[in-house]
Amino acid sequence: MKYYLVAGEASGDLHGANLMKALKVEDKDAVFRYYGGEKMQAEGGELIKHYADMAFMGFTEVVLNLRTIFKNLKACKEDISAWKPDVLILIDFPGFNLKIAEFAKKNGIKIFYYISPKVWAWNQKRVLKIKRDVDKMFCILPFEVDFYHKWGMEVDYIGNPLLDEIALFVPDNDFRVKHQLGEKKIIALLPGSRKQEIERLLPVMLSITEKFPDHVFAIAAAPTFSEDYYHQLAAGKKINLLFNNTYNLLYHADAAIVASGTATLETALFEIPQVVVYKGGRISIAIARMLVNIKFISLVNLIVNKKIVTELIQEDCTTLKVDKELKDIINGEGRNLMLRNYKELLSLMGKPGASAKTAKLIVKYVAEF
């Protein structure tokens, strides 16, 4: 079968690649075409557009880049029409993908949504569009099943694909030597993969490095940016950059400072104490605070429905507060408490196998249509 996938961020590229790998097991004739990144490209098929040219962060940034977004939407629709896939698989990225879903539905294409948009966070009426346009929804967060059920929509909970990726991970015991990290304990810095978040968060993260002389700091760098780009943001500070090595960094880390997003959950699954940070544009944050209807922004806290990790958002994301919270999870009572709470998270997450389960369901559902 011909599968067209649309992923617009680094996390979508990761999950898309794992799903493609699983689909090749279920369907020996699988052919892929997609919007994604290097990980999906490594699984074969044809990459049409890289997610780095698509991801814009926050309301203001979206407005400023509307011309580019509309151009990407038009190109994606035209490519889908020309290729005529048997099934369209949309991966999160709702601002873009819900418009693609509406288009595909009108053109008689079967639509599977892998990794639900966070419609439970704001503008919940978007569920009505999903119910209208999407044939099957595959959810990776436990609480999403009940949420959709309240809207009269049956969905499949398939576990979380991050568990698959972590289960496949084999740590490099020579990691420290290869990257000249020495014997000091490591603090991992995960500033995100999008330009706007990196430029807002990395300077704050680096501003505390001198306060921890007994630790070495290492940055999980996004492969879409150069070493020079990170050195410019570091403003003369000596930095340790690690490309395509985030899991080894987390495995060997003592603690982490993490941009809100998928990485917070990855860090928790490695059971590394963390401080979660987030900064957006002023207008974007003001709008979000009016619209968003959730108590937390990190997946870790949302899944367990209580505060496990500290979230330093916007005006709270300062050198002083990051320093204080980091010290607490390195040497204070916060460390042991967080590690105990991670056990509850792990029990809720379940076992690996999300990608394989989703692939089986996709092939099964296509045969039934």
The confidence score (pLDDT) of residue 284 equals: 53
Pairing assessment for the beta strands 185-190 and 156-157 based on DSSP bridges: unpaired
Percentage of residues in the chain having pLDDT higher than 70 = 93
pLDDT band at 235 (very low <50, low <70, confident <90, very high): confident
Classify burial at 365, counting beta carbons within 10 Å of its beta carbon; exposed 0-12, middle 13-18, buried 19 or more: middle
Question: Are residues 45 and 131 both part of a single domain?
Answer: yes
Helices first, then strands: H and E counts in the chain: 18, 13
Are 154 and 183 contained in the same domain? no
* pLDDT for residue 70: 85
| Confidence category of residue 43, pLDDT binned at 50, 70, 90 | very high
> Mapping DSSP to helix (H, G, I), strand (E, B) and coil, where does residue 271 land?
coil
pLDDT at 286: 52
pLDDT of residue 280: 73
pLDDT digits (tens, 9 = 90+) for 150-186: 999 999 999 998 898 899 899 999 999 999 998 999 9
Output the pLDDT for position 308: 95
Give the pLDDT confidence score for residue 261 in this predicted structure.
Answer: 86
- Do 129 and 221 lie in one domain? The reply is no
Window from 67-76, 84-93, 117-126, 207-216 with minimum mean pLDDT: 117-126
Both structure tokens of 366: 């296509």
Same-domain check for residues 213 and 313? yes
Structural domain that includes position 82: 2-159+353-368
Among 145, 173, 178, smallest CA distance to 159 is for: 145
| pLDDT at 125 (0 to 100) | 84
pLDDT digits (tens, 9 = 90+) for 252-278: 999 999 999 889 999 999 999 999 999
Average pLDDT, integer, range 51-66: 64
* pLDDT tens by residue, 271-326: 999 999 998 766 555 545 544 556 788 999 999 999 999 999 988 999 999 999 99
How many domains does the structure of the chain reveal? 2
Q: 195-206 and 319-330 helices cross at what angle (nearest 10)?
A: 70
CA distance 86 to 73: 20
CA-CA distance, 328 to 310, in Å (whole number)?
Answer: 11
Residues forming beta bridges with residue 241, ordered by sequence position: 219
Same domain, 174 and 154: no
Contacts of 250 (CB under 8 A, 6+ apart): 188, 256, 266, 267, 270, 272
Residue 266 shares a structural domain with residue 357: no
87 contacts: CB under 8 Å, gap ≥ 6 = 1, 2, 3, 4, 109, 110, 111, 112, 362, 366
Please tell me whether residues 192 and 247 are part of one structural domain.
yes
C-alpha distances (whole Å) from 10 to each of 16, 54, 188, 244, 269 are 10, 11, 18, 11, 18
Nearest to 80 by CA among 46, 122, 119: 46
The CATH number covering residue 122 comes to 3.40.50.2000
Residue pair 13/347 in contact by the 8 Å Cβ criterion: no
178 shares its domain with 133: no
Nearest one of 243, 247, 235, 178 to 210, comparing CA atoms: 235
DSSP state of 298: S
- Domain shared by 218 and 99, yes or no: no
Q: What confidence tens digit (pLDDT) does each residue in 86-120 have?
A: 999 999 998 899 999 999 999 999 999 999 988 88
Cα separation, 174 vs 256, whole angstroms: 20
Please, which pLDDT band fits residue 61 given cuts at 50, 70 and 90? low
Which pLDDT does position 58 carry in this prediction?
55
Phi, psi dihedral angles at 256 (to 5 degrees) = -150, 150
Judge whether residue 37 has pLDDT over 60. yes
pTM: 0.77
Q: Is the pLDDT of residue 67 over 90?
A: no
Residue 332: band (very low, low, confident or very high) from pLDDT cuts 50, 70, 90? confident
Q: Are residues 256 and 306 in the same domain?
A: yes
Phi-psi sector, 192: left (phi>0), alpha (psi -120 to 50), beta: left
**181/312 same-domain check:** yes
Mean pLDDT (the chain, rounded): 90
Please check whether residues 88 and 183 belong to one and the same domain: no
